[in-house]
Structure 1
Amino acid sequence: MKPLSLLLAVALALVTAVSAGPAVIECWMVEDAGGGRLTKKPAALLLRQGPGTPPPRPDLEPELYLKVHDPAGALQAAFRRYPSDAPAPHCELSHYVPFPASANWARGLTSEQSCPRSLEGTWLMVSISSSIFRLSSLLRVQSEPQPEPALITLATAVLTVLTHSPVPRIQLGQDALLDLNFAYMPPTSEAATSLAPGPPPFGLEWRHQHLGKGHLLLAATPGLCEQMPTPQEGAVAFAAWDDDEPWGPWTGNGTLWLPAVRPFQEGAYLATIHLPYLQGQVTLELAVQKPPKVSLMPAPLVWAPPGEAPPELVCHVSHYYPSKGLEVEWELRGGPEGSFQKAEGQRWLSALRHHSDGSVSLSAHLQPIPVTAKHHGARYACRVHHPTLPALGRSAEVTLEVAGLSGPSLEDGVGLFLSAFLLLGLIKALGWAVAYKSTLKDSEEKKV
């Protein structure tokens, strides 16, 4: 049983390691070098440590090899479901100085005249971005590196702001839900006990930036009687702490809801959590989209005599967004040169037509070349490619009938039968009418 128990223990350890995410996050320390220049130095965050001492990193300065204590667990939770085959996230570190919020509506958060002593010391801001999540975390750094076999600096995650939908893609006209979570742990026990039990008041700010312009979308300070700016564009936020433990750590929610999004609401959404003298911010990139509808006219058949060109084909590509990235291809399927080939002829596109919902439409035109008997039964198709569609795109097709090469179809037979039936009925009706008039005339003559 011992080998089986050992194997089970190893398997459980592997599962735990995988589910816990990466132990070390490689970063860059970005600093201002003056003159508009920036310097970058390699850094690393040690989120989890196995038994023994931290692994040595002689390639890093001790001040940039950070062993992160995460009392709220927000950093580790963000990486817990990070796909193993996903690209490594981009991580940057920068120096941070605590400061009060500048907005009038957030001044109630900082009742003290100056930054409290509990916030003194060295602070760093870590920004991590990927296609899976984005987060910003304020780290309070211990003053001196630890004299362990591997020189390392201890840091505590104080405020972490996180979104699991960094690049939401929303269908035009549907509601958008921009996810935001945050976690906070007072940096020192003195800071925690100096305040009333329970989570502190906080401020939530959502700003929208698009095409070089920005504006405040929504602001809230739950628990404070402050005059708030009016929310814009029907925005609603779910701003609240998730728990009320007396001394922390605490987690909260600041998710934003936008009803029936329109194209002008695309762009960057900056979500900021304000605490007294501390701010954490993440950016989401909202994209609005709508896949095109495709139809081809005339349909379902086009007709042409041998040696002449079929009528002009019009491919209607309607109600899509964004307008950029659209491509239209013309195909001839089942023609004389194989099952698939590029359709020849003169082609052009119409101007864009704009609709009230922000979507656009256009028409693609093809004037085919003259056909031969070999083209009989071939199909003309227009294939549309757009960023909102799968790789193969979306297509519509019509069938080509060459005159003199097709017998009557079932529809033709049914049409002829109905026509003959109606004609026979009309003839009988006329016969009855003539007979009735003759009978009526004979009876009148007899009376005379």
Structure 2
Amino acid sequence: MKLPSLLLAVALGSVTTVSAGLAVVECWFVEDAGGGRLAKRPAALLLRQGPGEPPLRSDLDPELYLKVRDPAGALQAAFRRYPPSAPAPHCEMSRYLPFPASVNWASGLTPEHSCPRALDGTWFMVSVSSRVISLSSLLQLQSESQRDSAFITMATAVLTVVTHTPITQIRLGQDALLDLSFAYMPPTPETTASLAPGPPPFGLEWRRQHLGKGHLLLAATPGLGGQMPASRDGAVAFATWDDNEPWGPWTGNGTLWLPSVRPFQEGSYLATIHLPYLQGQVTLELAVQKPPKVSLMPTPLVWAAPGEVPPELLCLVSHFYPPAGLEVEWELRGGPEDSFQKAKGKSWLSALRHHSDGSVSLSAHLQPPPVTAAQHGARYACRVHHPSLPALGRSAQVTLEVAGLSGPSLEDGIGLFLSAFLLLGLLKALGWAAACLSTSKESKEKKAQ
């Protein structure tokens, strides 16, 4: 993999957009102020500059004004896809201390008894979050003697972890794919020369947190032996380095696949990449949704005479998720002057009914008021709003027919019934009379013989 050596990190904060990507990232540097309080100071990342000296930033501490070198190009690649119309992501910086992984299954990544000298010095962790990207990058700062200027600090992006699915909404029962990529470049040439050629072993960890509870979902250490914890919920990860360059930089893939997602699987997912004494972590949110089906009864017509109360309307809202956020509105369309208004009458909702797949259903009821002749042809509609539906929601409707204005009226129906009864009686009488005449004629013929 041959990448341009001058690719500069991009990402994170209130920034100026230019043709080559984000140039300056405004961040907050967060540190412990004691007593359980946190202190924040402004910071900035200079990711790209034109010819000449870096622009002065007298408002910043020189240690917090960083000119970032990104040999793996992961930062710029991530933010090249960032939509120009999207809100600026939130960026925070904090101090970082290299340390071995605390989980037992990743202990094989740090066989040494002490942290290598190549990781000495000052380290910062940059964390970025937005609706379109979540990113974590470890920056190693150069010492004061190595600085090009007294008012800016040089830093190198060593490990960068990125996801472009920080907020994923998946249909109930479908498969979820949570993407994760990472890039690594040893901090110094001396470190690279002391290592075996090719990418180093790494550890991948996926954890889920929901409703205050968390557990390990999947763990893997490609290139290392040892017993791994069993994966849960059928989770599968594509844990591998994407290239095998002898001296780096290297990019990798840790994308997670969850089959047939159920409601209990929604929540926060923490993805961590473990390298010897270095860890990068991003957070993703998975939400499960299923849009409701809407049907209205009785259908297709609601009959009533003027002044009478039409039958109760029943709106079935079935097999949706999540239960929260559902709203049902009743509308009356048409009628006098072809109006559109909120339907009057008494309305109520039933209790939730739970299904085996985790979805729920309920029924909405409306008892309309007495109808008038002017409402003939009006339409009662049940409109449902839910987070899984478009802004207009989903609706079903029935037409109100007022007796006497369309089809036979009640009096007409009684008249037709009486007419049919009399006609039937007349037909029976004629049949009886014809039978009697036929019998009498046969009797006379027998006597004549």
TM-score by length of 1: 0.87
Cα displacement (A) at 1:123: 0.5
Distance in 2 of aligned mates of 1:18 and 1:392: 37
Note the alpha carbon deviations across 1:20-56, whole angstroms, 9 max, x for none. 3210111000000111100000000111111111111
Note the alpha carbon deviations across 1:309-355, whole angstroms, 9 max, x for none. 11000000000000000000000000226420010000000000000
Distance in 1 of aligned mates of 2:141 and 2:186: 14
Moved more, 65-74 or 148-157: 148-157
Whether the aligned pair in 2 keeps the contact of 1:137 and 1:161 (CA below 8 Å) is yes
- Give the residue type in structure 2 aligned to 1:401: E
Note the alpha carbon deviations across 1:129-155, whole angstroms, 9 max, x for none. 111110000000012287667711000
The correspondence of residues 162-181 of structure 1 with structure 2, limited to 5 A, is 162-181=162-181
The correspondence of residues 128-143 of structure 1 with structure 2, limited to 5 A, is 128-143=128-143
- The residue aligned with 2:316 is 316
Query: 2:76 aligns to what SS in structure 1?
Result: helix
- Give the residue type in structure 2 aligned to 1:243: D
- The residue aligned with 1:233 is 233
Gaps of 5+ in 2: 1-16, 409-415, 421-426
TM-score by length of 2: 0.86
Distance in 2 of aligned mates of 1:76 and 1:153: 19
Distance in 1 of aligned mates of 2:333 and 2:283: 47
- The residue aligned with 1:392 is 392
Whether the aligned pair in 1 keeps the contact of 2:147 and 2:154 (CA below 8 Å) is no
Whether the aligned pair in 2 keeps the contact of 1:145 and 1:154 (CA below 8 Å) is no
- The residue aligned with 2:6 is none
Residues 1:345 and 2:345 aligned together: yes
The 1:101–1:56 alpha-carbon spacing in structure 2 relative to 1, beyond 3 Å, is same
- The residue aligned with 1:247 is 247
- Give the residue type in structure 2 aligned to 1:93: M
Residues 1:99 and 2:99 aligned together: yes
- The residue aligned with 1:119 is 119
Q: List, as ranges, runs of 4+ consecutive aligned residues in structure 1 with deviation greater than 4 Å.
A: 145-150
- The residue aligned with 2:10 is none
Distance in 1 of aligned mates of 2:48 and 2:149: 17
Residues 1:204 and 2:191 aligned together: no
- The residue aligned with 2:373 is 373
- Give the residue type in structure 2 aligned to 1:318: S
- The residue aligned with 1:155 is 155
Distance in 2 of aligned mates of 1:306 and 1:150: 89
Whether the aligned pair in 1 keeps the contact of 2:26 and 2:45 (CA below 8 Å) is yes
Whether the aligned pair in 2 keeps the contact of 1:53 and 1:148 (CA below 8 Å) is no
Distance in 1 of aligned mates of 2:296 and 2:129: 44
Distance in 2 of aligned mates of 1:305 and 1:282: 65
Query: 1:383 aligns to what SS in structure 2?
Result: strand
Distance in 2 of aligned mates of 1:78 and 1:202: 21
Q: CA RMSD for the aligned pairs?
A: 2.4
Note the alpha carbon deviations across 1:171-198, whole angstroms, 9 max, x for none. 0000000100000000011111111000
Whether the aligned pair in 1 keeps the contact of 2:147 and 2:153 (CA below 8 Å) is no
The correspondence of residues 354-369 of structure 1 with structure 2, limited to 5 A, is 354-369=354-369
Whether the aligned pair in 2 keeps the contact of 1:199 and 1:250 (CA below 8 Å) is yes
Distance in 1 of aligned mates of 2:223 and 2:74: 24
Q: Give aligned-pair identity as a percent.
A: 81
The 1:127–1:248 alpha-carbon spacing in structure 2 relative to 1, beyond 3 Å, is same
The 1:226–1:133 alpha-carbon spacing in structure 2 relative to 1, beyond 3 Å, is same
Cα displacement (A) at 1:379: 0.2
- The residue aligned with 2:36 is 36
- The residue aligned with 2:3 is none
Whether the aligned pair in 2 keeps the contact of 1:21 and 1:81 (CA below 8 Å) is no
Distance in 1 of aligned mates of 2:146 and 2:29: 20
Gaps of 5+ in 1: 1-16, 409-415, 421-426
Distance in 2 of aligned mates of 1:374 and 1:310: 14
- The residue aligned with 1:25 is 25
Query: 2:144 aligns to what SS in structure 1?
Result: coil
Query: 1:107 aligns to what SS in structure 2?
Result: helix
Whether the aligned pair in 2 keeps the contact of 1:20 and 1:76 (CA below 8 Å) is no
Query: 1:157 aligns to what SS in structure 2?
Result: strand
The correspondence of residues 68-79 of structure 1 with structure 2, limited to 5 A, is 68-79=68-79
Distance in 2 of aligned mates of 1:275 and 1:201: 7
Query: 1:32 aligns to what SS in structure 2?
Result: strand
Whether the aligned pair in 1 keeps the contact of 2:296 and 2:313 (CA below 8 Å) is yes
- Give the residue type in structure 2 aligned to 1:51: P
Moved more, 158-167 or 147-156: 147-156
- The residue aligned with 2:215 is 215
Distance in 1 of aligned mates of 2:217 and 2:81: 31
Distance in 2 of aligned mates of 1:159 and 1:149: 25
The correspondence of residues 45-56 of structure 1 with structure 2, limited to 5 A, is 45-56=45-56
Distance in 2 of aligned mates of 1:337 and 1:138: 67
Whether the aligned pair in 2 keeps the contact of 1:316 and 1:363 (CA below 8 Å) is yes
Whether the aligned pair in 2 keeps the contact of 1:318 and 1:361 (CA below 8 Å) is yes
Distance in 2 of aligned mates of 1:278 and 1:148: 27
Paired positions, count: 405
Note the alpha carbon deviations across 1:213-244, whole angstroms, 9 max, x for none. 00000000001111100111100000000001
Distance in 2 of aligned mates of 1:369 and 1:154: 76
Query: 1:190 aligns to what SS in structure 2?
Result: helix
Distance in 1 of aligned mates of 2:251 and 2:19: 21
